[in-house]
Chains A and B, each alone.
Chain A
Amino acid sequence: MRQEHYDVAVIGGGSAGMAAAISLAQRGKSVVLFEREEVLGGILLQCIHNGFGLHHFKEELTGPEYAERVSKTLEELPVTVFVGSTVMHMEEAHAGEGKIVYAYSREHGIVMAEVRAVVLAMGCRERNRGNIGTPGTRPAGVYTAGLAQRLVNVEGYIPGKEVVIVGSGDIGLIMARRMTWVGAKVKAVVEIQPYPAGLTRNIVQCLNDFSIPLYLSHIVSEIHGKNRVEAVTITPMVDGMPDTQRSFRVDCDTVLLSVGLVPDNEVSKKLGVQLNPETNGALVDSRLMTNVPGVFACGNVLHVHDLVDFVTEESTRCGEYVAEYLDGVRPAAQHRVVAGSNVKYVLPNWYDRSHDNRFYLRPMVVKNRAELQVRLDGHVIKTKVLKHVQPSEMIALALDEKDLGDGAAQGDLRLEIAIV
């Protein structure tokens, strides 16, 4: 067994892991990065469409281009990278505050890295048929949109000729266009909510431009077919209940699911990291540290982002926090942040009154001219008017020391962020 020592282990070499590793290496820390695939880049590599990088690089890139830019920066830094390496175990070192990370690979057997800090950057996974409980038979031809994207864009195979897409998440919308481009017929995109789950630009560019019908407030209520998918039953939702009288059948050979993403935190649990049931990501303090000292989280393993640019921003910042942690900086008093009315979650879950704080939140409602309210001890301390909010788009919010009032304020120090 190969034993190594570093300041930090970064688990995952997608956009989050690479940004955190860069940030740490630039601050002179010794970093080891483990990536389970053979190349760095993560899911970006199969996202061959453009639309990435508008915020971070101020230009429009494809997924692989975005990944390449970031990995080039990484290559110039002294980061030890193990590809084809899956982290299977993590544990607290027997003495001191260190952690031990075990990565399995064909090439090196098991690398045992003893580190002072860990950055969790494993990304997320797609929700599947079992998670949404779609009844019916269990034929071939039912795939998550991401798997279909991999098959088409990387492996060169087309999952099917006539497609129904369940859910209007961004990957589903992108795959509607992609499947059309390779010659398949996308017969319907079916969304249970009365509004789309994906970004507006994807509705326009991937569905409307190709006249692909979007059924809002509809569900796929049954999958048919013995060996391969033969059809689905689509049922409208009326007042939140399926109206089976108006169900109709659509013949197809493929069902793609784009019904949400979940942070993939299984390995985090080995270190006792506490998760937030709302996001399935870790609960983190104002410096993105989990309940386990020295273990940090960023990117889609913390919460599912809408744009990769924000993953890069958050993960770069995470790298800074980890570097400061290694230098002995410990956070000042932490107070809870709670998601108020119409807000699904706010991250981080704690804030620091003595610093500037940056939050990401997800609305639960679709609303024009929504007001974002920040409340402290029963008082509204800041408001912000937003032209339009919808659940598919994250909201960023910065609060500086001034916003939080003088440090002398007493009472309930929970910060509540709401949309009214």
Chain B
Amino acid sequence: MNTHYDVVVIGAGVCGAAIARRLSAYELKVALVEKEVDVSFGVSKANSGIVHGGFHHSTKSLKSKLEVQGNRMFDQLKEELHFPFERCGILVVAFSTEEMRTVEQLYRQGVANRAVGIELCNRERILMLEPKLNNDVVGGLFAPAGGIIEPYRLVFSLVECAQQNGVEVLLNWEVSSAVDQGSYYTLKNQKGETIEADYVVNAAGLYTDRISALFGAEEYKIVPRKGEEFLMDRNAKAYTRRVIFPVPDPLSKGTLVIPTVEGTTMIGPTAEMIEDKEDTTTTRDNFEKAFYSARRLVPAVSERDIITSFTGLRPTIAGDDFYIDYSRKVPRFIHVAGIQSPGLTASPAIGEYVKHLLKKRGIRLVEKPDWKPSIAEVPRIRELSPFDADQLIATDPSYGEIVCRCENISEKEIVEAIRRGHVTLDGIKFYTRAQMGRCQGGFCTYKILKILQRETGMTIDEITKRGKDSFVVTSRIGELAVGATVEGAV
């Protein structure tokens, strides 16, 4: 017999995770299904990690409403879920009177949106707020409620909390067909397994259009907009105190200089409309564009400090707004589509909004008396003083084993990641930050492989970087025919 759920949420990105956690507060049987090997491995993995300040979008839009509402929810969420988040503030910097006019327009929009604490800055004020800005700056805007966050950590925490409250997470579960059985849907995956759902929430990111088509719901097209990001060493001189935005253009909010919440500096994203939803390539051209733009904002940005680059894809949809609504064509089906920037900021509010939509469509919501909004915090050895660290190691010696020397991550933190189901190299990287520092895994990869082997029983040749065929090694010594490929050896 198929497992029957009240709600199935498709897509374990930040929206799916926030919705699942919100629904976990009610007496509902909920599943969160994800086609990838781990949660947060799609759009939510590769973005700028900004909690936006509430001034970029028109007051009339759903975007701005959910952005401002979502922004306000982050302090409490951090208390409950312990993800790295800081309200460092956002600056938009202008280099001419023309640009300043656009900034003034953003300011008025922010005021209308009820963005908290937003102000216009003269040259002196903006340089005081951020001394590393290009001296040619003429003024700008300051949004103190803006902040920085580790996006995947937010997703991991939301999912962990949802699971703790009974939500089932199905990984490697790609919805390949759906049938309306009258009062419920049957969903089948690529392996032929099926589950049943009274209500379906489509939060499939880049693939919401495909999922919508599978259910016979509204037709629309998600077009990926590619953005490359460049991550720099934690010692980079370009590390600023605030997130620095240029004056936006019609296509995007521009290329930013971001002091990440973990102390590295990131520049990006670029913006380029593409067709292929899997195209996460980086290019030399975009590298040059991003650096040119970023140096105009903060001249200390240096190519020398780059440790890695990556590409994220924003799921864009026609019109300039999120598409979050119930289907008018099929019953008990909610679209959460076109969630590009400021989707991360809006995500907690999207959870709330979708709950209301479900209620409107007739779902019965009864609060759980024992709902637990908080998850246990995993201590991070590098955040502790030596004295506190010593006490922690006394309780568990594996906190004393430093596996990742660049980010100072202990074996215990890696084991905790594995115990939470992050069993690929990338999953461990995003949960712990091991392999994310300046050596990019050069020193710690083999150690992580051995810990994974010990904790999961997988052999090293079964371990992948991020699921599917992304195997880390291909063979063991002795497995390849030696000599066959040696030509001209002496």
Q: Do A and B bind each other?
A: yes
The residues of A with any CB-CB pair to B shorter than 8 Å are 1, 36, 84, 86, 88-89, 102, 104-110, 112, 125-126, 128-131, 133, 135-140, 143-144, 146-147, 150-152, 154-161, 180-185, 209-211, 221-222, 226-228, 253-254, 264, 266, 269
Give 20 A-B contacts (CB < 8 Å), ordered by A residue: A1-B390, A36-B405, A84-B401, A104-B400, A105-B401, A108-B400, A110-B387, A110-B389, A131-B307, A138-B280, A140-B466, A158-B474, A159-B472, A160-B473, A161-B475, A180-B485, A210-B487, A227-B466, A227-B470, A228-B470
Using CB atoms, name the residue of chain A closest to B284.
A135
Out of A1, A131, A183, which one reaches B387, CB within 8 Å? A1
- Asked whether A227 and B468 contact (CB < 8 A) given A109-B394, A130-B440, A131-B306, the answer is yes
Q: Quick check: A155 and B460 within 8 Å, CB to CB?
A: yes
A321 CB to closest chain B CB (Å) equals: 27
Q: Which residues of A contact B489 (CB under 8 A)?
A: 180, 209-210
CB distance from A99 to the nearest CB of B (A): 14
Residue of A nearest to B234 (CB): A266
Question: What 7 A-B pairs are tightest by C-beta distance, nearest first?
Answer: A183-B480, A130-B308, A140-B465, A86-B402, A227-B470, A140-B470, A211-B488
B486 CB within 8 Å of chain A: yes
Main secondary structure of the interface of A (DSSP, over half): mixed
B191 at the interface (CB under 8 A from A): no
Q: How far is the CA of A161 from the CA of B474 in the complex (A)?
A: 7
Q: Does B134 contact A (CB under 8 A)?
A: no
With A130-B309, A155-B460, A266-B438 known, 4 other A-B pairs at CB within 8 A are A110-B400, A128-B308, A155-B449, A209-B489
B445 CB contacts on chain A under 8 angstroms: 143, 147
Known: A102-B386, A133-B287, A209-B490. A157 touches B484 (CB 8 A): no
Query: In the assembly, what is the distance between CA of A131 and CA of B307, in Å?
Result: 5
With the chains together, A297 CA to B373 CA distance in Å?
51
B283 contacts the other chain (Cβ, under 8 Å)? yes
Residue from the set B387, B406, B465, B468 with the largest chain A CB neighbour count within 10 Å? B465
In the complex formed, the residue of A with least CB distance to B394 is: A109
Chain B residues whose CB sits within 8 angstroms of the CB of A181 once the complex forms = 482, 486
**B281 close to A137 (CB less than 8 A):** yes
Asked if B220 lies at the interface with its beta carbon under 8 angstroms from chain A, I say: no
Chain A positions within 8 Å of B278 at CB level: 226
Which of chain B's residues have a CB closer than 8 A to the CB of A161?
474-475, 480
Q: Is B421 an interface residue (CB 8 A)?
A: no
With beta carbons under 8 angstroms apart, the residue of A102, A130, A185 that contacts B306 is A130
Question: With A157-B461, A159-B473 in contact, is A107–B482 under 8 Å at CB?
Answer: no
Contacts of A108 in B (CB 8 A): 400
CB proximity of B98 to chain A, nearest CB, Å: 33
- Identify B476's interface contact among A125, A139, A157, A254, CB under 8 A: A157
Contact with A along B443-469 (1 / 0, CB 8 A): 101100110000000001100111111
B residues 385-405 touching A (CB-CB < 8 Å): 386-387, 389-390, 393-394, 397-398, 400-402, 405
CB within 8 A of A182: which of B231, B470, B477? B477
- CB-CB under 8 A from B488, the residues of chain A are 209-211
A136-B282 contact given A183-B485, A269-B235, CB 8 Å threshold: yes
Contacts of A88 in B (CB 8 A): 382, 386, 402, 408
Q: Mark B290-312, 1 if CB is under 8 A from A, else 0.
A: 00000000000001001111100
Is B381 among interface residues, defined by CB-CB distance under 8 A? yes
Given known pairs A137-B280, A157-B476, A227-B468, the reply for A129 and B485 (CB within 8 Å) is no
Which residues from chain A contact B442 at a C-beta distance below 8 Å?
125-126, 128, 143-144, 146-147
Decide if B482 touches A182 in the complex (CB within 8 Å).
Answer: yes
Asked whether A155 and B446 contact (CB < 8 A) given A110-B390, A126-B439, A184-B485, the answer is: yes
Once bound together, how far apart are the Cα atoms of A130 and B441, in whole Å? 12
- Pair A135/B281 contact, Cβ less than 8 Å: yes
B402 touches A135 (CB 8 A): no
- State the Cβ distance, B311 to closest chain A Cβ, in Å: 8
B378 contacts the other chain (CB 8 A): no
Chain B residues contacting A36 (CB-CB under 8 Å) are: 402, 405
Task: List B contacts of A130 (CB < 8 A).
Answer: 231, 306-309, 440
Within the complex, the shortest CB–CB distance from A164 to chain B, in Å, comes to 14
Query: In whole Å, how far is A338's beta carbon from the nearest beta carbon of chain B?
Result: 21
Residues on the A chain within 8 Å of B461, using CB: 157
Rounded to whole angstroms, the CA-CA distance of A152 and B460 in the bound complex is 12
Please tell me if the beta carbons of B476 and A158 are within 8 angstroms of each other in the complex: yes
Residues of B350-397 contacting chain A, CB below 8 A: 381-382, 386-387, 389-390, 393-394, 397
B479 within 8 A of A: yes
A128 touches B469 (CB 8 A): no
Taking CB atoms, residues of chain B closer than 8 Å to A158 are 473-477, 479-480
Chain B residues with CB under 8 A of A211: 487-488
By a CB distance below 8 angstroms, the chain A residues around B251 are none
- Chain A residue numbers with a CB within 8 Å of B472 are 140, 159
| B471 contacts the other chain (CB 8 A) | yes
Within 8 Å of chain A (Cβ to Cβ): is B481? yes
Task: Please state if B446 and A147 are interface contacts (CB–CB under 8 Å).
Answer: yes
What residues of chain A lie closer than 8 Å to B282, measured between beta carbons? 135-136, 138
Q: CB-defined interface of B417-444 with A at 8 Å, one 1/0 digit per residue? A: 0000000010000000000001111110
Q: How far is the CB of A161 from chain B (nearest CB, A)?
A: 6
| A156–B490 touching, CB < 8 Å | no
CB distance from B167 to the nearest CB of A (A): 28
The smallest C-beta distance from A115 to any residue of chain B, in angstroms, reads 15
Are A109 and B400 within 8 A (Cβ)? yes
Report chain B residues within 8 Å CB of A228. 469-471
Contact, CB under 8 Å: B460 / A104: no
Is the beta-carbon distance between A109 and B393 smaller than 8 angstroms? Answer: yes
State A108–B445 Cα separation when bound (angstroms).
Answer: 24
Chain A residues with CB under 8 Å of B306's CB are 130-131, 133
The residues of B that contact A210 with a CB separation of less than 8 Å are 486-489
Q: A135-B281, A137-B281, A144-B442 are in contact. Are A157 and B480 (CB under 8 A)?
A: no
Q: Are A129 and B402 in contact (CB under 8 A)?
A: no
Identify the closest chain B residue to A183 (Cβ).
Answer: B480
Contact A110 B476 (CB under 8 A): no
A284 CB → nearest B CB, Å: 20
* Bound: A152/B475 CA distance, A: 10
| A1 neighbours in B (Cβ, 8 Å) | 386-387, 390
Residues of A within 8 A of B284 (CB): 133, 135, 221
- B88 CB to nearest A CB, Å: 23
Given contacts A125-B442, A183-B484, contact A110 B386 (CB under 8 A): yes
Q: What are the residues of chain A within 8 A of B490 when measuring CB–CB?
A: 209
